[in-house]
Homo-oligomer: A and B are copies of this chain.
Amino acid sequence: METPTLYLIPITMGDTPIDKVLPKYNTEIINNLSFFIVENIRTSRRFLKKCNPEIDIDALTFYELNKRTLSKDIATFLNPMRMGESIGVISEAGCPAIADPGADVVAIAQKENYKVVPLVGPSSILMSLMASGFNGQSFAFHGYLPIETNERIRELKELENKVYRDNQTQIFIETPYRNNKMAEDILENCKPQTKLCIAMNITCDNETIITKKVGAWRGKLPDMHKQPCVFLIYK
């Protein structure tokens, strides 16, 4: 029997086929697991069926980990490892523990000296950075910016300062229904010569990853409403 291991299992984004974004090996690992810690049970079941149409979903145990999960419950999710079983962690889209709740359970596994193994899969943060043409030797991801207008503008200007002062690519995201507003805020508050990359629908059929100067984007923004987007700025 293998050492009990916490596998971090990336998931497809949108309707992308498994073979396009996940190595075959991931399915082999999944087929040997009976316990899963997941952000959303319905999404995860559908994903596992897609990986292996023969899978017996009813024989699997799922623990749901999201913003509503109590921290005292999270530690109990690792109980199967204490009995020698491995567990898979699956997030809602992309890579677990990056910009999503999985990190808490990984931290507990590390603290208890369990083996943790990340699998390869799509990350919109990393893929947008690759395709932006921006500095990949120094970059920072900030998650969501503040919603309140003044705070958000202050934060945007601070990120733009870091671009010029530290030569560091700045990466952030927005709730999809506020993407158009986010882009307008960037165009209004950043310098015309600052470069903005808008990466939309990564790995999907309608993927576009386009870099232009802020001045050149003005009046030419695509409609990003409810499309998953990553925003990157650099000089």
Residues of A within 8 A of B (CB): 8, 17, 19-25, 95-100, 102-104, 106-111, 116-118, 120-123, 125-143, 168, 197, 202-203, 207, 209-211
- A23 touching B25, Cβ below 8 Å: no
A140 to B168, CA, bound (A): 9
- A207 touching B22, Cβ below 8 Å: no
10 chain-A/chain-B pairs, Cβ below 8 angstroms: A17-B25, A20-B23, A23-B23, A100-B136, A103-B137, A117-B131, A117-B207, A118-B202, A137-B143, A140-B141
Q: Which of B23, B129, B140 contacts A139 (CB 8 A)?
A: B140
Find the B residue at minimum CB distance from A19: B24
Q: A16 CB to closest chain B CB, in angstroms? A: 9
Which residues on B sit within 8 Å (CB–CB) of A102?
Answer: 130, 136
Find the B residue at minimum CB distance from A95: B130
Q: A13 CB to closest chain B CB, in angstroms? A: 10
Q: A193 CB to closest chain B CB, in angstroms? A: 13
Using A130-B97, A133-B103, A211-B110 as known contacts, say yes or no to A120 and B118 having CB atoms under 8 A apart: no
Find the B residue at minimum CB distance from A21: B120
- A127 touching B131, Cβ below 8 Å: no
Number of copies: 2
Find the B residue at minimum CB distance from A108: B133
Which residues on B sit within 8 Å (CB–CB) of A122?
Answer: 120
Which residues on B sit within 8 Å (CB–CB) of A19?
Answer: 23-25
Closest 6 A/B residue pairs (Cβ): A107-B133, A140-B140, A106-B133, A110-B211, A98-B136, A137-B143
Using A8-B131, A123-B126, A136-B99 as known contacts, say yes or no to A209 and B116 having CB atoms under 8 A apart: yes
A128 to B139, CA, bound (A): 16
Which residues on B sit within 8 Å (CB–CB) of A108?
Answer: 133
- A131 touching B106, Cβ below 8 Å: yes
- B118 touching A209, Cβ below 8 Å: yes
Which residues on B sit within 8 Å (CB–CB) of A100?
Answer: 136
Which residues on B sit within 8 Å (CB–CB) of A116?
Answer: 131, 133, 209
- B130 touching A138, Cβ below 8 Å: no
Q: Which of B95, B104, B138, B209 contacts A126 (CB 8 A)?
A: B95
